[in-house]
Amino acid sequence: MVMGAPLEDARHLAQRYDRMRQEAEAQAIEVSKRQMKLREASGNSDMVARLEATELKLQELKSNMGVLAKEAVAAMTAVEAQQQRLTLQRLIALVESERNYHQKVLQILDQLEREMVSERQRIEGAPPPVVESSMPPPPAYEEVNGIFMRNTVAELVETVEYFLAEAIQSYRAESDTELNLSAGDYIVVRKVSNNGWAEGECRGKAGWFPYDYIEKRERVLASKVAQGF
């Protein structure tokens, strides 16, 4: 809001104009009264002179009111223009502040996006993590005249008597040296290593498989015998 001399000057002019207007209204009433008295007592030169003086004063007041009104209007217009300038300046400052704020937010978002893209590229470019097997690989061996011989050190495999076992869950071979199993298959187990693997034969094929996937059986169901295991 406009403060200081311009506003005080405009208020002072407005107050002067209001007092002068009230004085002119009172003077106009006085002129009317004197005109009525003059009509009642016609030819009274003293009353005529007073009426003329009253009318002259009324004309002066009206003239002064016109001048003062122009000054008051000019002062109020100046105050209004100044107020508009101040309002515009405040709006410009507010817009500038909002623009700076959003620019800072945009910079933060751009920085965050760059960091996220960099992190994604780092993750995508990194070599896949090495997943350690929960179980060591089976001992290596080779088939010689239908007999599987051990290539690992002697302590990895314990020689046991052949026994019959049933697969309690399926197993998918991951190499040529391993044996596929389906739940319910019967296997002739020929070796059991101390690292959790067993070697045997099922359905005419031989290979290694996890020992925990089988259970020892004392006999074979007749349906399995018919199927040849």
Is 211 part of a structural domain of the chain? yes
Is residue 135 in some structural domain? no
126 assigned to some structural domain = no
Rounded Cα–Cα distance for residues 103 and 109 (Å)? 10
Domain identity same for 25 and 100: yes
Q: Do 18 and 83 sit in the same domain of this protein?
A: yes
Last-in-domain residue among 110, 126, 149: 110
Cα-based torsion angle of the residue sequence 68, 74, 76, 81 in order, rounded to the nearest 10 degrees: 180
Print the domain residue range for 26: 5-110
Least Cα distance to 186 among 158, 157, 223 occurs for 223
Residue 153 lies in a domain: no
Q: Which residues contact 116 (CB under 8 A, 6 or more apart)?
A: none
pLDDT at 147 over 70: no
pLDDT single digits (tens) 71-126: 888 888 888 888 888 888 889 999 999 999 999 999 999 999 999 998 888 888 76
According to DSSP, the residues that pair with 112 across neighbouring strands are none
Q: For residue 150, tell me if it sits in a domain.
A: no
Q: Find out whether 55 and 31 touch, Cβ atoms under 8 Å.
A: yes
Q: How many C-beta atoms lie closer than 10 Å to residue 13's C-beta? A: 19
Kindly report whether the global pTM for this prediction surpasses the value 0.85: no
3-state secondary structure of 172: coil
Domain count, the chain: 2
Q: Among residues 110, 125, 143, which one ends one of the domains?
A: 110
pLDDT for the residue 128: 62
User: 5-40 vs 45-125: helix axis angle to the nearest 10?
Assistant: 150
Task: For residue range 22-61, list pLDDT tens digits in order.
Answer: 988 888 898 888 788 777 766 677 777 877 888 898 888 8
Same domain (yes/no): 102, 196: no
CATH number at residue 188: 2.30.30.40
Confidence (pLDDT) at 32 = 86
Q: How many CB atoms lie within 10 A of CB 207?
A: 20
* Collapsed DSSP state (helix, strand, coil) of residue 91: helix
Q: What is the pLDDT of residue 212?
A: 94
- Structural domain includes residue 167: yes
Measured CA to CA, the distance from residue 156 to residue 150 in angstroms comes to: 9
